[in-house]
Structure 1
């Protein structure tokens, strides 16, 4: 809905609706990047740490140690934003939680438990360097990986339920026969999580690889930067190739589950059989404008067949149609960027297979640096398409967003405070990470951890002396070797 129309309709909407939408969009859009790191980054740390142990590779061990500290900083900030989100569900959407809280309680409870497990083991991993047997220390990453994946699955299952409700019945206006396990185990939750899980590896892989590509642009072409680029880029490459397939499988369900969202995705004003694929374009005065049309491919992408129809927006009441232009452009941005990144990684690896190292080309490094922000835009666009495309429903077909919101006009103040807090956290994260980077470049590999146990307390003064001498007692993982 255009902004002026929103303002004109404000008198008939709850006072808390617009600030609730703005705050939810901002906090979710901010948090999803950190959540992606919680899902994907521990797996990348595991790979480089294991490489360091198996191959006695000091570069890989050093990289794992650095990445572990970065993960801890991002986790700490993500813990704040995640806690804010948990309160926002009840504060911003009392109509949702008041009516469907029994349905959603179990997934949120499991997500909370997963968060605590992840917090415990990231602490053990961070302080376990030179204090635990090497392979046991490596295994501390496994619960982190599992907890991050399971916690994210629980949250995604709630969002999937909002798109494809299940696990309850409405009897005389009351929610009955609640089955919270149906929320967790629905096929929609599995598919949507797979899409998000792979998207997280795309985002983190391209972003981390972009950091090291930027370093190589500045002439830092040592083994540290090459390994730091290669590991996340391999993850990102696999994810970029898989993502279009998963997105296609997930999207084919929309014709039955959310046909109004599909119509907005395809910019289909009327039912067409077969439907064309419209690339670009916006809806002006109810008609699609400024687009390129490819016959029949809209039906294939949306329905998996060149002959099936795509239902048009005119078959839905005006009150049930999503904001078409935002939904369509966000969907096209996600698909366009995702396709571009998939093509780019194929070109990179084909060139490498043919003996050409694109990391030696300045234009290729510039493209790899740009790929990081593009991956973030793709993920954010996907969530905009998902959430805006579900409107005007919070629970599709059961609860409208106007019914889910409260009447608290003072939520504008909460939004202002949230913007200030999140801005401060962003600035703090940048300052801390840049400070860590500068000190690493200056040779300070073993950065102090505030309030952490002293090395002497854990392994004794003999181990400290051995570390200073460049050797390690039996049972050490050789962490001091990569300092030289």
Structure 2
């Protein structure tokens, strides 16, 4: 493994783990605050028990997210010094603000965890709200920095120098809103389905059904609603990619030839040598409609992009198909849930209905990882779109593969501990809260 591949692999691994920790850390405090509010208003002890149980999960993921996020900040300087040298002064503002949001979240979480029976009830609840708001703000700010890499702005690039830097313009670049919206909804969808799936499993096993039923309802309402809204934010993101990153869009669709009535390809195996997609289902004109809101207008294909500027087509296409496939599956399950909530309440007692959510537990995070792959791999060979290539930013330090092996071991070890702690917490629920 050469140093360039090792550096990219280490960054991919780190981001792949961190995105799960951070998304759960963004969303679980919101669920916690909802159950806490229900306890305050109804005095139903079950809601307090749910809040206490979820707050322990929030603490676990806050700690692991802090560790993985700190490692990522070191990796940016270690692996990509060329990138940080030039980009740091430009997009440093959202990272600085994210640090502020992180400290506020840490302080608020401390108040919340140790405030039971010590603080005013409503003040205690507000500290949980602050945890949720600051967590979501942290996620949006980090995505703002990433969106700048896809849509660089706030500077002039002349003679190899970065001049006239405007951090605010860089932070609120053209892609930040669509990416932040898409990522936030994805976090709610993935976490909602994952939490609901775990509680559905406990209901299916007939363990503390009253507790898990109430917890399931809070989680799946957010997860299902987010899954139904996700295609709308995805459409906004795709239109933005077509405008700012046509090579990424073409790779996502494995769209080789520029044409009118551009077809949308579902599935298929890209053949880059023959410049075609085998075994895919083509829907004529639909790509034109999705990009331009009409079926006729031309969409630029990979034939308009120099080969040296094209991203890895197969990886981007497969990841995009996985993201869309699991997203559509979750949307369908979300629709079925609201149908059950509205007219078919008997479904909640059916084994097949609970199994549907159990099997869908990892679906959101699979879609999330696939979508992140599309975002990052689809931008290649650029680390800053159209300005700096990834190969120009990598460290000249040798032996990066050993760093990759070390970080791989750390992340997998960390994940094992997280799984162990969560499993232990879930198993303790009947013993502690079945009262």
TM-score, normalized by the shorter chain, greater than 0.5: yes
Aligned to 2:86, which of 68, 86, 99? Answer: 99
Moved more, 246-255 or 78-87: 246-255
CA-atom RMSD, angstroms? 1.4
TM-score normalised according to structure 2 size: 0.97
Q: 1:175 aligns with which of 162, 168, 186?
A: 162
Q: Deviations over 1:197-252 (max 9, x none)?
A: 00000011000000001101111262211011000100011101111001101211
Name 2:66's counterpart in structure 1: 79
- Superposed CA deviations along residues 425-484 of structure 1, whole A, max 9, x for unmatched, are 1111122222233333223x5xxxxxxxxxxxxxxxxxxxxxxxxxxxxxxxxxxxxx84
Residue in 1 that maps onto 2:355: 366
Aligned length: 433
Aligned: 1:27 with 2:14: yes
1:247 corresponds in structure 2 to: 234
State the secondary structure of the residue aligned to 2:366.
helix
Instruction: After TM superposition, list the pairs within 5 Å mapping 1:75-474 onto structure 2.
Output: 75-220=62-207, 222-284=209-271, 285=273, 286-443=275-432
Query: Which of structures 1 and 2 has the bigger CA Rg?
Result: 1
Partners of 1:321 and 1:432 in 2: CA distance: 43
2: CA distance, partners of 1:147 / 1:384: 26
Name structure 2 gaps, 5 residues minimum.
Answer: none
Output one character per residue of 1:132-168: Cα deviation in whole Å (capped at 9) or x when no partner.
1111110101221221122111110111110011000
Deviations 1:279-320 (A, max 9, x none): 011222232111011111111223332122221111111100
How far 1:115 sits from its partner (Å)? Answer: 1.0
| Whole-Å separation in 2 of the counterparts to 1:384 and 1:357 | 40
User: Are the counterparts in 2 of residues 183 and 189 from structure 1 also a CA contact under 8 Å?
Assistant: no
Unaligned runs of 5+ in 1: 1-6, 8-14, 446-482
Contact kept? 1:330, 1:385, Cα under 8 Å: yes
Deviations 1:11-44 (A, max 9, x none): xxxx531111101111101010111012111111
Alpha-carbon separation, structure 2, partners of 1:170 and 1:295? 40
Report the more deviating stretch, 209-218 or 407-416. 407-416
C-alpha distance in 1, partners of 2:386/2:16?
25
- Give SS of 2:207's match: coil
**Distance of 2:52 and 2:9 partners within structure 1:** 38
Tell me the TM-score normalised to structure 1 length.
0.87
Could you tell me whether the CA contact under 8 Å between 1:276 and 1:296 is conserved in 2?
Answer: yes
2:43 is matched with 56
- Give me the whole-angstrom Cα distance separating, in 2, the residues matched to 1:372 and 1:165: 36
Contact 1:16 1:92 in 2 (8 A): no
Shift of residue 45 of structure 1? 0.7
Cα distance in 2 for residues equivalent to 1:226 and 1:119: 30
